Amino acid sequence: MAHVTDFREAGFSTLLDELEWRGLISQSTDRDRLAKALNGEPITYYCGFDPTAASLHIGNLVQLINMRHLQLAGHHPIALVGGATGLIGDPRQSGERTLNPKDVVAGWAERLKAQIGGILDADGDNPVRFVSNYDWTAQMTVIDFLRDVGKNFRLGTMLAKDTVARRLNSEEGISFTEFSYQVLQGNDFLHLYDEYGCTLQLGGSDQWGNLTSGLDLIHKVRGVDVNVFTSPIITDAQGKKFGKSEGNAVWIDPTMLSPYKFYQFWFNRPDVEMESLLKAFTFLPKAEIERLVAESQQNPGAREAQKALAWEVTSFVHGEEATQAAIDASAALFGRGGDLAAIDGQTLQSVLDGFQVTGEDGTRAFPAAAPGDRVIDAAQAAGLFHTASEARRAIKSGGVYLNNVRVEDGDAVLTDADFLQGRFALIRRGKKALGAVEHR
């Protein structure tokens, strides 16, 4: 991450002005009250992350970026990893959630804490505080919950929540378990207000009803006005949501999506998305973003905006070292510099995953090869040529490369040294057509 500036240096009157300019605010409570709170003495704020998977994804990243903006401004963050609400699941737009085993949820919660701690400052003068709502929710009996919390909620208000209303009108309806989620989340805000003086909650725009349940509860039982705001749901140029429920999740955990693939995701975004993505997902100052957007429009082939976006987001999530390794791997892969042999095994496999071929049974795998096999046969197995004679002609014309070294002999064979990290041999046809075979 680079180029962090104070909002005043960028010409904004309030922190809220900058967040709105970046497209990071969708809904909020009284705007003047919120702006005043963010520009005044440091406040304590929180955002909840339910462990419904082993990793956060870039939909959650928007919340972490908002949290980081506030943390940099001196406000005190609390990251609530929902050990209790993760066992329940917030209502989806359609379909009841599958309840996961308690030990699985607990394991996922620990993984999420590690991911969040790698993005927000976890040390220093203003570290993020981690809490789990299981700690206070599990201690409550059903009677306590109904008497102390449930009595403060009105059924009419709960039924009017957008997601609840939509589910009620669907064929499957909604279970009492998911219906109760907003009560649990409202109680979380009250607990954090009482325990830490927390006066602001953040979330995605699909969480608005859950966020306001806590706001209303605090106002009712403590007579205090607190704040909430949401960020918009991020979509691609076709309007499709980036999220695990849509089947195209971009995971934050490097074991579920490598830094190389994470970097490539951002680098391959179209020009039309550059302005919104640079504003929302980077901390670059306003003037630099405007320059990059203008450059993208005037000279799209240079992809300067995409390079800046990919660097900023990947280094924010995975660190500069992993990001540079992803860039070096990409350059080496296409023979634009860098040493293929220097790519570590995990990155190498991640880089080459896209070059698996589909077998007759529909499964995808790397074609197998062994020392002594002809390069033309390996190239054909990798899907680069239809026939051996076609491969020979390409070699004769100087258009075939083994690990970025031009193949001069049509009868050349693979050697042990040709298998990078002892596993893969990379074959390239021309400048862009790539394939790989795996040592058998």
Query: Is 244 annotated for ligand binding?
Result: yes
DSSP 267-305: HT--GGGHHHHHHHH----HHHHHHHHHHHHH-GGG-HH
Ranges of H-type helices in 118-257: 134-137, 142-144, 155-159, 162-168, 176-179, 181-196, 208-222
Query: Is 207 annotated for ligand binding?
Result: no
d(CA 379, CA 108): 42
Q: Which residues pair with 401 in a beta bridge?
A: 406, 428
Query: Is 46 annotated for ligand binding?
Result: yes
Contact 69, 4 (CB under 8 A): no
Instruction: Identify the CA nearest to 51 among candidates 116, 118, 107.
Output: 107
Helix (H, G, I), strand (E, B) or coil at 331: helix
Structural tokens at position 47:
């955002």
Pairing verdict, β 227-231 and 27-28: antiparallel
Helix (H, G, I), strand (E, B) or coil at 106: helix
Query: Is 201 annotated for ligand binding?
Result: no
Contact 97, 52 (CB under 8 A): yes
d(CA 52, CA 131): 17
Contact 164, 71 (CB under 8 A): no
The 10 Å CB-count burial string (b at 16+, else e) for 245-255 is beeebbbbbbe
Backbone phi, then psi, for 168, in 5-degree steps?
Answer: -60, -30
Residue list for the binding site for ATP: 244
Residue list for the binding site: 46, 181, 185, 244
Residue list for the binding site for L-tyrosine: 46, 181, 185
